[in-house]
A and B are shown apart, each in its own frame.
Chain A
Amino acid sequence: MNLKTWLLDKKVYFIVHLSATLMLLTFMSVFGMNKASVIFVALLSFLSHGSYLAYEYFRRYRFYKEIDEIMDGLDKKYYIDELMPTPFFFEGLFLYDLISAANKAMNDEIYTYKNREKDYRDYIETWIHEVKTPIAASHLILKNNPGPLARNIREEVDKIENYVEQALYYARGTQLEKDYIIKSLNLKKVVQDVLKRNAKLLIGKKCQINLFEKDVFVKADEKWIAFILHQLMMNSIQYSSSPMRLDFGVENLDNEVIFWMKDYGSGISSSDIKRVFQKGFTGVMGRRVRTSTGIGLYLCQQLCHKMGLKISIESEKDSYTQVNIRFPLSGMYR
């Protein structure tokens, strides 16, 4: 609020007051009152109105200035109704109550959505755990009744399993609370476990594995790393033709360990490579291979980011694709 806006706001009051005073003075002169008393009345009127207006102006000026300052200092602006001074004038009080009521209604609304979201997430988690039992049963049934039909269905059940797992990590990776444990883990062992899990697919593609010999210890959540490696491996299998090859390597630097996994499949074109971690991005390859959802790599990046790791990808079309994950040895990357 400044003086000009204040004065403009009061313009009707000024016009009415000025014209009334002028009429009064004219009236007094016409009836032959002496000049001194006319001037006295005029002065009295202007002084009394003027001092009242000045008082009002400065009081409000102080009030609004304080609110302005509080508002500027607030990180979450909607707390203003809790922190602003209670107004001393009627309109102010009226609006103050209005803001409080509106804020309260909005809080209730947000609370409803928060609850609804939590309910939904809980449901998804429960659902995922429930659906795992029929998937496990299907695997066993297929295993007990081998044949070409079983082999075909098994591939599809494997896909379902992977999508279900993606959903679980999507729910976990996007929630605010932490539910992962960063502890020391042996990268070689995790790679071996994921290789065992995908043994059937990899052997089916006559895969040659080149895995580093030594144990390598880094700090991360083991289940998350296993999930990430599984996603990366699924991609490699999908985009490689038989016989395929997978190389794994580690590089120990002063302040970090770089893990990489390289396949010699179809690669990623240079126009696509910058966008592979985007949600829903499938690229030219994805559009050709129908099963891509563009969620796998997005999740990998989200989970890496949450654990404070860096994931990057380099590739040459029709030649190779290499994914690097960098594990800091102390603290986090900034």
Chain B
Amino acid sequence: MNRIFIIEDDLKIKQELSVFLERNGYRVSSSERYSHIVEDALEISADLILLDINLPEVDGYHVCKEIRKLSEVPIIVVTSQNSDMDELMSINFGADDYITKPFNTQILLARIQNILKRTTTIQEKLVVEGVALNLSNGTLSKDGDNLELTKNEFRILHLLMSNTGRIVTRDEIMEHLWQSDAFIDDNTLTVNVNRLRKKLQSVGIEDFLKTKRGQGYII
């Protein structure tokens, strides 16, 4: 499980962000000792740091620079200043990405996933009921049978298999696909899911992807 360190002085945002990220499968920690924030951030060896630029006692850019001197840990800068200058400063001081408040939570998640995908050794396989989704090459395998998946089919399965036992609504799936530039509509999703089901059946996987009428899908 990936560890995220949050540097944010607004308590409410920190608290809610922690809950949000924990629900999405990350371990979250933070610190309030702003004068020692760099040590605290590095001590827990996080996989990613979310850094607010407006901090008490210290300057966020300075923190960014200090962390970068000692570690290559990815940093996403969060700020309410929506200007090119701030973006440039962040990148110059070694940040990996830049996001402005108020952020769209889906976009924040997508950015975090993108960066972690690049920097951490990713999980090789996602296995549910003997069906394995190979994350490295986007294929599916069961009992030695291999199945090629299209990008969208892979993303749909990935989302459903990461949320086993929970109904994932059609809107959620579409939002997930939109975040990776596949702007599909309702009909296309139906077509995609039907085709995916047929593919699964062709290798003998039945009743794996279940429809909850009027609600969504569940694995």
Which listed residue, A130, A199, A206, touches B106 by the CB 8 Å rule? A199
Closest beta carbon of chain A to B109's beta carbon, Å: 10
Q: Residues of A contacting B175 with CB < 8 Å?
A: 199-200, 203
Q: Residues of A contacting B16 with CB < 8 Å?
A: 137, 140-141, 143-144
B69 at the interface (CB under 8 A from A): no
Are A132 and B13 also in contact (CB < 8 A) when A203-B175, A203-B178, A206-B186 are?
no
The segment from B55-63, B78-86, B133-141 found at the interface with A is: B78-86
Asked if A196 and B80 sit within 8 Å, CB to CB, the answer is no
Chain A residues 173 to 211 lying within 8 A of chain B, measured CB to CB, are 179, 181, 192, 195-197, 199-200, 203-204, 206-209, 211
Q: Residues of A contacting B214 with CB < 8 Å?
A: none
Which listed residue, B10, B100, B179, touches A199 by the CB 8 Å rule? B179
- The range of chain B's interface size is 20 to 34
Closest beta carbon of chain A to B186's beta carbon, Å: 5
**A140 CA / B17 CA spacing, docked (Å):** 6
Asked if B10 and A203 sit within 8 Å, CB to CB, the answer is no
Asked if A243 and B20 sit within 8 Å, CB to CB, the answer is no
Q: Residues of B contacting A137 with CB < 8 Å?
A: 10, 12-13, 16
**A144 CA / B16 CA spacing, docked (Å):** 7
A133 at the interface (CB under 8 A from B): yes
B101 at the interface (CB under 8 A from A): yes
Asked if B81 and A129 sit within 8 Å, CB to CB, the answer is yes
- What does the 1/0 interface line of B166-194 toward A look like (CB < 8 Å)? 00000100110011010101100000000
Chain A residues 91 to 136 lying within 8 A of chain B, measured CB to CB, are 129-130, 132-136
A168 at the interface (CB under 8 A from B): yes
Asked if A203 and B174 sit within 8 Å, CB to CB, the answer is yes
Which listed residue, B20, B80, B101, B179, touches A144 by the CB 8 Å rule? B20
Q: Residues of B contacting A132 with CB < 8 Å?
A: 80, 100-102
Closest beta carbon of chain A to B172's beta carbon, Å: 9
Chain B residues 1 to 24 lying within 8 A of chain A, measured CB to CB, are 10, 12-13, 16-17, 19-20, 23
Are A197 and B104 also in contact (CB < 8 A) when A129-B80, A137-B12, A203-B174 are?
yes
Q: Residues of A contacting B84 with CB < 8 Å?
A: 181, 223
Closest beta carbon of chain B to A147's beta carbon, Å: 13
Q: Residues of B contacting A140 with CB < 8 Å?
A: 13, 16-17, 19-20, 105
**A69 CA / B145 CA spacing, docked (Å):** 96
Which of A130, A195, A199: most chain B Cβ within 10 A?
A199
Closest beta carbon of chain B to A261's beta carbon, Å: 14
- What does the 1/0 interface line of B64-104 toward A look like (CB < 8 Å)? 00000000000000001111100000000000000011111
A310 at the interface (CB under 8 A from B): no
**A206 CA / B186 CA spacing, docked (Å):** 6
Q: Residues of A contacting B181 with CB < 8 Å?
A: 192
Closest beta carbon of chain A to B171's beta carbon, Å: 5
Are A133 and B179 also in contact (CB < 8 A) when A143-B20, A209-B185 are?
no
**A143 CA / B20 CA spacing, docked (Å):** 7
Q: Residues of A contacting B171 with CB < 8 Å?
A: 200, 203-204
Q: Residues of A contacting B80 with CB < 8 Å?
A: 129-130, 132-133, 136
**A129 CA / B10 CA spacing, docked (Å):** 14
Given contacts A144-B20, A243-B186, 15 further A-B contacts (CB under 8 A): A130-B80, A133-B80, A136-B103, A139-B104, A140-B105, A143-B105, A144-B16, A144-B19, A144-B23, A168-B82, A195-B183, A199-B174, A203-B174, A207-B185, A243-B185
Q: List 18 interface pairs A-B (beta carbons < 8 Å), by A numbering.
A: A133-B101, A136-B13, A136-B102, A137-B12, A137-B16, A139-B103, A139-B105, A140-B16, A140-B17, A141-B12, A141-B16, A144-B16, A195-B183, A197-B104, A199-B175, A204-B171, A209-B185, A223-B84
Could you tell me which B residues sit within 8 Å of A by CB distance?
10, 12-13, 16-17, 19-20, 23, 80-84, 100-107, 110, 171, 174-175, 178-179, 181, 183, 185-186
Nearest first, the 8 A-B pairs at minimum CB distance are A140-B16, A136-B102, A209-B183, A132-B80, A135-B102, A136-B101, A199-B178, A129-B80
